[in-house]
Structure 1
Amino acid sequence: MTKLSKEIFKAYDIRGVVGKTLTQETAQLIGQALGSEARARHVKAMVVGRDGRLSGPDLAAAIAKGIRAAGIDVIDVGMVATPMLYFAAYELGTLSGVMVTGSHNPPEYNGFKMMLAGDTLSGEDIQALYQRIVAKDLASGEGSYREHDIADAYLERITGDIKLSRPMNIVIDCGNGVAGAFAPTLYRRLGCKVRELFCDVDGTFPNHHPDPAKPENLADVVTALNKTDAEIGLAFDGDGDRLGVVTKEGNIIWPDRQLMLFAADVLERNQGAKVIYDVKSTRLLAPWIRDNGGIPVMARTGHSFIKAKIKETGALMAGEMSGHVFFKERWYGFDDGLYAGARLLEILSRVDDPSALLNALPNAISTPELNIKLAAEGENHALIAKLQETAVFDGAEEIITMDGLRVEYRDGFGLARASNTTPVIVLRFEADSEEALERIKADFRRTLCAVTDAALPF
């Protein structure tokens, strides 16, 4: 039997190093386990898509072969952005699909994001696939195969709904990810003048890493805005489900502040609606949502957890600090960087100075996301569990433990949580003043040094 690496079965997707922990044989087994689970949920067909990584075609063919071996029909939509795979699952009526993507991981990685009967798989559901393979609890059959081009339907659905009040002049940076195959067309169809940066799809990512959560990856957008008459910059991650935003002056509008603008727009039409944000987000969000007539809901970080929370609460809008934005109003409730960019341009096109509108959003003194790198898989979760049991924080007013430790103080917050994709502790700090920020960081430094000798990034 093919050697199966348990560590590739993550909290909200499957992800590994191609040829090592993730092989074509492994992909086929995962496909058959996924197909078996699909049958248990009375699913008849699944959509399969892939991003622009070099290993994508082989892994997509392998997982499709496994799905069909379980007796499930496959509709292959080819190279698409992750949100286009989700769109295809709705549009083609399967409500089920698998996206072959390594998201923003380095080029040697790839993996699978999975959806069955309208639910994005996460946590125990993903572990259950591993257990199916180990127990050889695999259905068999002969599923059919066909190809389908979803791009035009996707672009028409967005351009049919979103109307700009005036033409916009924009820069887009796709980081050589798969969004480059579709974003320029989309924004031109919306009436924008588009300057393209790295929109040719290249799975080696030769220019910069396709991760707009890291400021260094937005440097080319900042330069382009400075040197041209473009008024706003958009950037996308490797599989197109996350959005980065840069103002004319080169200010990065982090996703929790983007969510303020989106929430205000949605709540203008839907008073009393719930808006979800993740534990990494600014504490200025909750009062902003309330002031705009909404109900704020904090949730665990992770696209599949957020989607589950949208279903549970009936929220019309959600966002997380990493750049995933979810619209249930006028859209399907899945995370879509291309669509979020279009919604943003719709709002910004109503004003003469889009950057002024973005810069005026409430802001706090904060750190970017900081990472403590640990040696082994699982070490980060063990460390957070220990902190939850033993840590005492000076002056804490509330400790939220839904996803690590978010410690609320009268004048700020600190966060330590275990990443669900890599063996790191994710940290973030925010405060009303520099003095408060340093005090909160010192409190966390003291607490962390008591349980680990790993190098701290702050």
Structure 2
Amino acid sequence: MSKSGIEKNIFKAYDIRGIVGESLDAFSVELIGRSIGSEAVSQKQQTICVGYDGRLSSPELCEALIKGLLSTGIKVIDIGLVTTPMLYFSTHFLETHSGVMITGSHNPPNYNGFKMMIAGETISSDQIQSLYERIINQRFLTGLGSSTQTNIQDHYLAAIYQDINIHRPIKITIDCGNGAGGICAEELFRGLGAEVKALYCDVDGNFPNHHPDPSNPDNLIDLQHNLATTDSELGLAFDGDADRLGVVTKSGEIIYPDRQLLLFAESVLKNHPGATVIFDVKSTKHLFQWIRDKGGVPLIWKTGHSLIKKKMKESNAILAGEMSGHTFFNDKWYGFDDGLYAGARMLEILSQFDDPSAVLESLPKSVSTPELNIQLDEGQQHQIIQALQEEAIFVDAINVIKIDGLRVEYESGFGLMRASNTTPVIVLRFEAESAAELATIQKDFKVCLEKYIEKDRIPF
């Protein structure tokens, strides 16, 4: 811990995140609360909602955060153990426009952190750095705040029930990975009229069965097995704070979130022709033409839930999605990322068909990799990617997009490398029309990466 009582490197591009007992403890979290509260009050916010996920450290960190918030004079509504989308929902439903979610999302159990909304905006980048500067300079407001407790869950479920119409009692298996989604996922999907088999829906911050991250295929093995051995038609999986959705078909095929977005875009654009649909740099190349063909305007953007939400406001986009599993509906929902709501929208579409898996598996598909990671030391990922942005040359590329790392477009597909903003890794993804073309693209990337990283650490 630094002399100020706070580590600078926990202030990431779109949230605050660190290791509990090292960069995050009760003292540092109270300082974060004082900073967030001061910023909210300075923006004329009177009340802020606070919720936390199912991690073992979350209740203690919540107590410290609220102590810091109250010292600035702001009113706190403590909504307890919730999903991150329920926290976002509470800021709309309770009209606070500001909120803090204590969550480690999909990171290892010893991590935790904070996702923040102030005055209706999910804060990111420079705004998050300004919270750190406020702490360093001790620019804290003081006052006497008050705290109340409210249960938001019934209101959240009621809002989804009012919004979603499932056409038949589709049979599904859900896997919450012992994350916060377990508090209401089973109730939600049963209430919508689905027949539900539930895996790991008891909230347990030890994550005893598998890690709550549906972007990793290893974490979907139990769901695939259940689909193979039961009469369930479809599998839905959620991450630790339930703002991301994973989908598995009856045959066990993983429908990665960028392909999910193809289906969502088609559905939404039927009622909103000409609307903008955003996808992040990790997403399939098929989205460009698919969105145009369905009457929409495709827009590629940086990875990161708060960065996507900000771009949605700027462009008035109707829908957005990230390869990691965050999907944002802005047509008849609130424009925030919500894995449970996205699952409900998925069922609304697929319940119109006798064979939901066939619909999903028929979506455009290339040969592709999941997200691949290269583990590095803290901060090293940004240094390497910046150097590669400046010097890397791709002779056969038709376009190089540098808004977030390097997305190199080829006639047959694309390759991507970018610095993660949540953990010290370089994230890679590749897509092509054939395995041979995929290997060719990967070879280009390997030549560049080997200047900075040992061969045996590159995962292809």
TM-score range, shorter chain: over 0.9
1:33 match: 35
SS of alignment partner, residue 407 of structure 2? strand
Aligned-partner Cα distance in 1 for 2:285–2:119? 35
Alpha-carbon contact 2:15-2:124 (below 8 Å) kept? yes
Q: Aligned partner of 1:22: which letter?
A: L
1:144 aligns with 2:139: no
Instruction: Single out whichever of 434-443 and 276-285 deviates more from structure 2.
Output: 434-443
Match of 2:292 among 256, 278, 290: 290
Picking from 303, 323, 326, the partner of 2:325 is 323
Residues 386-401 of structure 1 mapped to structure 2, 5 A cutoff: 386-401=387-402
**Do 2:87 and 2:101's aligned partners in 1 also have CA atoms closer than 8 Å?**
yes
Which residue of the other structure, out of 103, 106, 126, is the alignment partner of 2:105?
Answer: 103
| 2:157 maps to amino acid | L
Give the equivalent residue in structure 2 for 1:366.
Answer: 368
The SS at the match of 2:104 is coil
Q: Deviations over 1:229-262 (max 9, x none)?
A: 0100000000010000000000000000000000
Q: Under a length normalisation based on structure 2, what TM-score does the superposition of the two structures give?
A: 0.98
Match status 1:422 vs 2:423? yes
Question: Which range moves more in the overlay, 1-10 or 328-337?
Answer: 1-10
Partner of residue 340 from structure 1, selected from 339, 342, 355: 342
**Structure 1 residues 102-134: Cα deviation after superposition (integer angstroms, max 9, x where no partner):** 001111111110000111111111111111001
**In the alignment, what sits opposite 1:312?**
314
Shift of 1:19: 1.4
**Match for 1:446: what amino acid?**
V
Instruction: Return 5+ residue gaps in structure 2 as ranges.
Output: none
Contact 1:53–1:202 at 8 Å: present in 2 too?
yes
User: 1:225 & 1:449 partners in 2: Cα distance?
Assistant: 41
Percent sequence identity over aligned pairs: 58
**Structure 2 CA distance for aligned equivalents of residues 134 and 11 of structure 1:** 18
Give the aligned residue type for 1:243. L
Structure 2: distance between partners of 1:352 and 1:76: 43
Match of 2:356 among 354, 357, 364: 354
- Equivalent position amino acid for 2:146 in 1: S
1:158-183 deviation line (CA, Å, top 9, x unaligned): 00110111111110000000101110
Count of residue correspondences: 457
The one-character-per-residue Cα deviations of 1:206-250 (angstroms, maximum 9, x if unpaired) are 000000000010001101001100100000000010000000000
Check whether the contact 1:399–1:405 (CA below 8 A) recurs between aligned residues. yes
Q: Pairwise mapping of residues 266-277 of structure 1 onto structure 2 (< 5 A)?
A: 266-277=268-279
Do the aligned residues in 2 keep the contact of 1:393 with 1:447 (CA within 8 Å)?
Answer: no
Quote the offset at 1:394 in angstroms.
2.0
Q: Give the whole-Å Cα distance in 2 for the aligned partners of 1:2 and 1:18.
A: 17
Would the aligned equivalents of 1:2 and 1:25 in 2 still touch at CA under 8 Å? Answer: no
The answer as to 2:230 corresponding to 1:228 is yes
The equivalent of 1:188 in structure 2 is 190
- For residues 254 and 453 of structure 2, what CA distance do their matches in structure 1 show? 33
- 4+ runs of 1 displaced by more than 6 Å? none
Q: Does 1:171 align with 2:173?
A: yes
CA distance in 2, matches of 1:437, 1:111: 36
Alignment of 1:116-135 (within 5 A): 116-135=118-137
Contact in 1 for aligned 2:4/2:136 (Cα 8 Å)? no
Partner AA of 2:401 in structure 1 = I
Kindly report which structure 2 residues correspond to 1:46-85, keeping only aligned pairs within 5 A, or say none: 46-85=48-87
Which residue pairs with 1:448 in the alignment? 449
**What is the RMSD of the two structures over their aligned residues, measured on CA atoms?**
0.9
What TM-score, normalized to structure 1? 0.99
Q: Which residue of structure 2 lines up, in the alignment, with residue 279 of structure 1?
A: 281
Inter-partner Cα distance in structure 2 for 1:87 and 1:206? 29
Q: What's the offset of the Cα at 1:2?
A: 5.8
3-state DSSP of counterpart to 2:336: coil
Where does structure 1 lack aligned partners over 5 or more consecutive residues? none
TM superposition shift of 1:48: 0.2
Partner AA of 2:123 in structure 1: L
Aligned partner letter, 2:182? G
